[in-house]
A and B are shown apart, each in its own frame.
Chain A
Amino acid sequence: MGEAKVKVPLLEVHDLKKHFPIIKGFFNQVVGHVKAVDGVSFDLYEGECLGLVGESGSGKTTVGRTILRALAPTSGKVLFQHGDESVDVASASHDVLKKLRPHMQMIFQDPYASLNPRMTVLDLVGEPLLVNGVTDRKEREKRVQDLLVRVGLKPHFLRRYPHAFSGGQRQRIGIARALALHPKLVVCDEPVSALDVSVQAQALNLLQELQEELGLTYLFVAHDLSVVRHISDRVAVMYVGKIVELSPVDALYEKPMHPYTEALLSAVPVPDPKRKKKRLLLSGEVADPSNAPSGCGFHPRCAYAQERCKQEVPELREIEPGHFSRCHFTETLQLEGQADL
């Protein structure tokens, strides 16, 4: 992002919650809730890429889907800057949503599962255009061809079906489809996780080029910390429904402030055999979001936990400008990052 530019939030998320009811028994009784997202707040600035990381089950996908109202939130606000207006996506009516949808799109992990195998590329990429009033067939074909070229596919692929493409090509089709309506915000949910490294590199480069060229804003959900470091301006770390750390990317990787971030970074295998580093082995597994631990949700696995952590829920506090941590003891801990890799 340009230094002098004033940062404008394109999206402001306030205390977002998504609780899934757990239903049991003959009378469909609600016996509890999976608190998949449990009080998430962050701003997303225009033109930036915010990475969202955390172990599986921490609520990343649910955040992405709830922001786009693909899932109805339980509570909270999602303010989207639409022209001069700020619209709350969380409570918007169907008519308002219909107007907003073209501006907010999603790219999925699995290019195999997310494309209807019985639709041609023309139909797949042209569908959002058709739904939004591009009814002229010739015009639609032309726009789809342009999009295909833009994502690095041949325009004559138009009449082929998804099975005729490799994983990397299918992901490009998914990207073309998401970009058809010139969105401002794109939620990318594990967009390169299913791809081989060489193809992954091509897809990441494409996403970066498109971002620069079209001024896109990304929420980039991924579990691969090296990929996230490569593409993000800022990174949020989630654990059991909550953001535990949020920071500009380099500060997060070099000087993490939350013990969970430190442990995650330490677990990443480094492709350099000479760096046989000492590893902080994180014991146990992710806590159950329907029965989160008391106090700080991370305390049962935390190497630094004290009595207070079992009782008191820590707040997400701004420790340094733009660097937030949800830990009682952030100031007293000396955590290790990945400084000089």
Chain B
Amino acid sequence: MDSVLSIRGLKTHFFLDEGIVRAVDGVDLEIPRGKTIGIVGESGCGKSVTAFSSLRLVAEPGQIVAGDVVLHQENLDVVLTDLEDEGDQIRAIRGKEIAMIFQEPMTSLSPVHTVGFQIMEAVELHMDLTGSDAQAHAVHMLDRVGIPDPGQRFGQYPHELSGGMRQRVMIAMALSCQPSLLIADEPTTALDVTIQAQILELMRDLQVEFDMSIMLITHDLGVVAEVADEVAVMYLGRVVEQAATDEIFEHPKHPYTRALMDSIPGMGSVRKTRLKTIKGSVPDPFSQLSGCPFHPRCEEAKKGMCDVGERPELLVLEEGHQVACVLYHEEVARG
């Protein structure tokens, strides 16, 4: 696979007084070039921390304790995890090569500067444009993301805009320097479905136009089904299954993936029947379970097999389909 970013054995832990939170605990992930990969899983499974770690944005008491994140540029591989903390190199990559947008744009937009000023700032920092050229480019980006009256909006403050418009501004800012990878962390979760549909469509168009890879973090399997080419499912700090979107929806292998899919109220499911549920909830992050960490909630767990030993490895079950579940390990061994 041609990847734009490779995450290998990544571990990011938070060292708290109460104990160690193993937020990301051995993530292996290839982000395919020019495509969209959806990262799904229940809250707390480490999706955001994986994203922040990739950009080297982990702050105390958090620390990347193991693993590599490698950015594949045209003729050059850059090991992001080896770069100096907050040094010139990582700062040049952030925003220019890899950009990120969040669920709540207000967390990354400054309330005291106009949206135009903020886009211009990014443009001047990363592109060879200054003054009126940078301004023209900023207005062009606002226009490109579908903001009406971009010239006038340029001078407005974030709080003067609706949630949907703010998310468009975030996208304009993120894409103003034509990054090769966009990390979008729940970009539409706070929006209405109608506005979500607009934003997803916009992202899809811009992806083609800018030839960009997208890492889309979401808990919504519907969103993933519509926009992702590839899907990775996370549980308790690791990827437990990864495959092409059609494949994973048609043949989900990991019991966790299957259970997640079954618990969605299907638009066509017979009403008034009970939904299938996953028993219990995601265990607290301090706990360290032996064997497969999903085994206490798993309907197919086998005693003496799933609850002992190490965490199951992510193994290739078929070409392009990886699963971390002991129940398949024999199958893999047989080949």
Contacts and interface: CB of A to CB of B under 8 A. Distances in A.
Interface of A: 55-56, 166-169, 196-202, 204-205, 208, 223, 225-227, 229-232, 249, 253, 263-264, 266-276, 279, 281-283, 285-286, 338, 340-341
A198 B197 contact: no
B21 to A, nearest CB: 15
Given A167-B43, A199-B281, 12 more contacts: A55-B195, A225-B193, A226-B264, A267-B194, A267-B197, A268-B222, A269-B196, A275-B225, A282-B197, A283-B198, A285-B162, A286-B192
A267 B194 CA distance: 5
B278 A269 contact: no
A281 B162 contact: no
Interface string B223-259: 1111000000000000000000110011000000001
B125 interface: no
Contacts of A276: 226
Contact of A263 (B194, B219, B250): B194
B42 interface: yes
Given A201-B263, A341-B266, A272 B249 contact: yes
Contact of B277 (A201, A232, A279): A201
Contact of A273 (B195, B201, B245, B275): B245
A168 B281 contact: yes
B271 A197 contact: no
Contacts of A204: 265, 275
A253 B267 contact: yes
A282 B222 CA distance: 18
Contacts of A270: 222, 225-226, 267
B268 interface: yes
A242 B261 CA distance: 35
A198 B259 contact: yes
Given A196-B43, A269-B225, A269-B226, A229 B271 contact: yes
A204 B272 CA distance: 10
27 contacts: A55-B192, A55-B193, A55-B194, A55-B195, A166-B282, A167-B43, A197-B264, A198-B42, A198-B259, A198-B277, A198-B278, A201-B263, A229-B267, A253-B267, A264-B193, A270-B222, A272-B249, A273-B225, A274-B249, A275-B225, A279-B197, A282-B194, A282-B198, A285-B162, A285-B195, A286-B192, A338-B268
A263 B194 CA distance: 8
A166 to B, nearest CB: 5
A166 B18 CA distance: 18
A198 B226 contact: no
B263 A198 contact: yes
A204 B273 CA distance: 11
A269 B274 contact: no
B276 interface: yes
Given A197-B42, A198-B42, A276-B226, A267 B277 contact: no
> Nearest 8 pairs between A and B by C-beta?
A269-B222, A341-B268, A230-B265, A201-B263, A198-B278, A201-B275, A267-B197, A196-B42
Contacts, number: 132
Contacts of B274: 205, 208
A20 to B, nearest CB: 19
A279 B222 CA distance: 14
B26 interface: no
Contacts of A285: 162, 164-165, 195
B260 interface: yes
Nearest to B274: A205
B20 interface: no
- Please indicate which of the listed interface residues B164, B196, B274, B275 has the most CB atoms of chain A within 10 Å of its own CB: B275
Contacts of A198: 42, 259-260, 263, 277-278, 281
Contacts of B196: 267, 269
Nearest to B246: A273
Contacts of B266: 226, 271, 341
Contacts of A223: 192-193
A66 B6 CA distance: 53
B107 interface: no
A273 B162 CA distance: 30
B220 interface: yes
Contacts of A269: 193, 196-197, 200, 220, 222-223, 225-226
B198 A197 contact: no
Contacts of B282: 166, 196
B122 interface: no
Contacts of B200: 269
B277 A202 contact: yes
Contacts of A271: 221-222, 224-225, 249, 261, 264, 266
Q: Which of A227, A231, A266, A272 has the most CB of B within 10 A?
A: A272
A223 B191 CA distance: 10
A166 B281 contact: yes
A266 B267 CA distance: 12
B269 interface: yes
Interface string B151-192: 000000000001011000000000000000000000000001
B153 to A, nearest CB: 14
A241 to B, nearest CB: 16
